[in-house]
Amino acid sequence: MFTLKEAVKEIALEHGWRATFMTRPAAGRGCCSGMHFGQSLWTDGKNAFHDDAAAEEEDRRQLSAVGRHWAAGLVKHAGALAALVSPTVNCYRRLHRPWAPDRADCGWQNRNAMLRLVTSSAQTTYVENRLPSSAANPYVVLAATVAAGVDGLVNRLELPPADAQDRGEPLPSSLSEALSALESDRTICDALGDEFIRSGATFSLLFNLGRSYLSGGVLAWLFVWSEVHTCICPS
């Protein structure tokens, strides 16, 4: 992913263009950049997310119990995951808009839901998490995804009905809101380690909010330091 981004930027420069992977590079109407994260689990050459028998039940469509539990973990921890997979202030200018996630929900082939569930065949059954931003670190996205998915498997969490009218909890609308959700999610904090969470939250606030000092004055720094001292995972 990093190699791809750097290659695109270099090639663009050679042709007189400037490429960006900023989540929302322009105000007003226009496209936003996400990093949809498709996932499935395989064992002995078989897709553990696929179950032909589940096709008999309309609300499961060949998505196995393993797949449902895994996806349920992502839904449960969506608020905390947002801080890790949408790590900049600009990321939240993408969410809550058309073609971008708005709530912690799921849907069959639904490109508006946070989780797009695909069960076309045994080879192509997967869960697509549409929450990650183009600004995210793919290694952090992977680690956070595994932490949430494993919690779903261990505790046999049940996936909410897909495409339901009651579409789940709203996703965070700001970085500070997402960091608060991460701070209070003991499962994700324990899985990734308090040291990682603390340093990540601190850096995110200093980098994203501290830059406002250049245009917003000293009050921005006061806000940064007050936030840094509160964004620590509980012991």
Note the pLDDT tens digit of each residue in 136-147. Answer: 888 999 999 999
Query: What average pLDDT score do residues 34-41 get?
Result: 88
Asked whether residue 67 carries a pLDDT value surpassing 90, the answer given is yes
The predicted-structure confidence for 185-234, as pLDDT tens digits, reads as follows 999 999 999 888 877 665 565 555 544 444 444 334 333 333 333 333 33
Selection from 104, 81, 40 nearest residue 181 by Cα? 81
User: What is the C-alpha separation between 155 and 226, in angstroms, rounded?
Assistant: 36
Catalogue all structural domains in the chain, each as residue range(s) with its CATH number: 33-228 (3.30.590.10)
* Element housing 122 (H / E): none
Q: Between 211 and 107, name the one with better pLDDT.
A: 107
Q: What is the pLDDT of residue 162?
A: 82
* Pairing verdict, β 46-47 and 106-108: unpaired
In the numeric block, the tokens 């349920």 are attached to 72
For residue 144, give the nearest of 90, 189, 112, 96 by alpha carbon.
189
Query: Quick one: what percent of the chain has pLDDT higher than 70?
Result: 78
Q: Count of alpha carbons within 13 Å of 138, Cβ hemisphere only? A: 12
Distance from CA of residue 10 to its chain's centroid? Answer: 27
12 close to 19: Cβ distance less than 8 angstroms: yes
Say if residues 162 and 117 touch (Cβ distance below 8 Å).
yes
Least confident segment among 106-110, 177-181, 231-235: 231-235
Longest dimension (CA), the chain: 61
Report yes or no: 145 and 131 within 8 Å, Cβ to Cβ. Answer: no
Residue 44 token pair: 């002995």
Q: At what angle do helices 175-184 and 78-85 cross, to 10 degrees?
A: 120
User: Residue 230: what pLDDT?
Assistant: 33
